Amino acid sequence: MPFTMVYRSEAVILTEVGLPTLCSEVVKDAPLNERQLSCNTDLLEETRNMALVHLASYHKQTRSYYAKKVSARRFNAGDWVLKARTGNSSKLDSNWIGPYEVVKVLDNGVYILKELKTGKNVPNTWNA
């Protein structure tokens, strides 16, 4: 309907007119075409599997590259540290808050901190 409204003529598919197209001319042997389609389907599955293997390899390479660049930070009790500022702040504010002292080291890089100015422990635990 929109085609008719724009061009003031009916949209006609080329096969209805009888004009030869590439698809209608190439497919003369239907059984051969069916065999080729089934072969292409098998190749498609193989291509998908190869793509999955390639994707897994890419993820592994990316993970190892990231692991090389990341260095784990370890602190000991008594070390002074700064915390990264979180939340809203102006662009002229410092990016760091502190200094704090590490009071206790827990498992997996978790620390209990104490403010140096007041001597009070920070309410939450912090990760490096």
Give pLDDT, residue 105: 92
What confidence tens digit (pLDDT) does each residue in 30-53 have? 777 778 778 878 788 888 899 999
Q: Are residues 83 and 38 in the same domain?
A: no
Tokens of 17: 């007119």
Give pLDDT, residue 16: 56
Residue 14 lies in a domain: yes
Q: Are residues 85 and 58 in the same domain?
A: no
Residue-number span of the structural domain to which 17 is assigned: 3-69
CA neighbor of 99 nearest in space, from 124, 74, 120, 116: 116
Residue 54 lies in a domain: yes
Q: Are residues 84 and 45 in the same domain?
A: no
Q: Are residues 8 and 65 in the same domain?
A: yes
Q: Are residues 85 and 65 in the same domain?
A: no
Q: Are residues 10 and 65 in the same domain?
A: yes
Out of 42, 69, 96, pick the residue that ends a domain: 69
Tokens of 31: 């059984």
Please tell me whether the overall predicted TM-score, pTM, comes out greater than 0.75 for this model.
no
Q: Are residues 22 and 63 in the same domain?
A: yes
Q: Are residues 19 and 57 in the same domain?
A: yes
Cβ atoms within 10 Å of 109's Cβ, excluding its own: 13
Tokens of 90: 């102006």
Contact present, 66 and 119 (Cβ < 8 Å): no
For 1-20, the DSSP string reads -HHHHHHSS----HHHHT--
Contact present, 115 and 103 (Cβ < 8 Å): no
Q: Provide the number of structural domains found in the chain.
A: 2
Residue 110 lies in a domain: yes
Residue bearing the bigger pLDDT, 63 or 1: 63
Give pLDDT, residue 60: 96
Residue 74 lies in a domain: no
